[in-house]
Amino acid sequence: MSNSYGKLFRITTFGESHGAAVGVIVDGCPAGVEITTEEIQLALDRRRPGQSKITTPRKEEDKVTILSGVFEGRTLGTPIAMVVNNKDQASKDYSHIEHAFRPSHADYTYTAKYGLRDYRGGGRSSARETVARVAAGALATKMLQKFGISINAYVSQVGKIKVQKPYTELDLSQIDSNIVRCPDGATAARMIGLIEEVRDNLDTIGGVVSCVIKGTPVGLGEPVFDKLHAELGKAMLSINAVKGFEYGSGFEGIKMRGSEHNDQFYTDEAGNIHTRTNNSGGVQGGISNGQDIYFNVAFKPVATILQTQQTINDAGEDIELKGKGRHDPCVLPRAVPIVDAMAALVLADFIMRQQANKVYSEPA
Collapsing DSSP states into helix, strand and coil, what is residue 314?
coil
Residue 165 annotated as part of some ligand binding site: no
Radius of gyration of the chain (CA): 21
84 in Cβ contact with 131 (< 8 Å):
yes
Q: How far apart are CA 202 and CA 301, in angstroms?
A: 12
75 labeled part of a ligand binding site: no
47 annotated binding-site participant: yes
Is residue 153 marked as binding? no
Ligand-binding site membership of 86 (annotated)? no
136 has binding-site annotation: no
Residue 48 marked ligand-binding: no
CA distance 341 to 230: 17
Q: Is 285 annotated as a binding residue?
A: yes
- At residue 116's C-alpha, the angle toward residues 114 and 122, to 5°, is 100
Q: Can you tell me the distance from the alpha carbon of 21 to that of 229, in angstroms, rounded to the nearest whole number? A: 32
65 known ligand binder: no
Does the annotation flag 364 for ligand binding? Answer: no
Q: Where are the beta strands (DSSP E) in the chain?
A: 4-5, 10-15, 21-27, 64-68, 70-71, 74-75, 80-85, 100-101, 150-158, 161-162, 207-214, 242-247, 265-267, 273-275, 283-284, 287-288, 293-299, 308-313, 318-322
Residues in contact with 256: Cβ distance below 8 Å, sequence separation at least 6, in sequence order = 249, 279
117 assigned binding-site residue: no
- Rounded to whole angstroms, the Cα distance separating 215 from 149 reads 5
128 is in an annotated binding site: no
- Dihedral sign for Cα atoms in the order 250, 251, 252, 254: positive
Closest CA to 281 of 344, 213, 183, 182: 213
- Opening angle at CA 224, ends 348 and 290, nearest 5: 50
Which residue type, as a one-letter code, is found at position 167? Y
Q: How many angstroms separate the CA atoms of 286 and 284, rounded?
A: 5
Annotated binding site for FMN: 124-126, 240-241, 285, 300-304, 326
Annotated binding site: 47, 53, 124-126, 240-241, 285, 300-304, 326
Annotated binding site for NADP(+): 47, 53
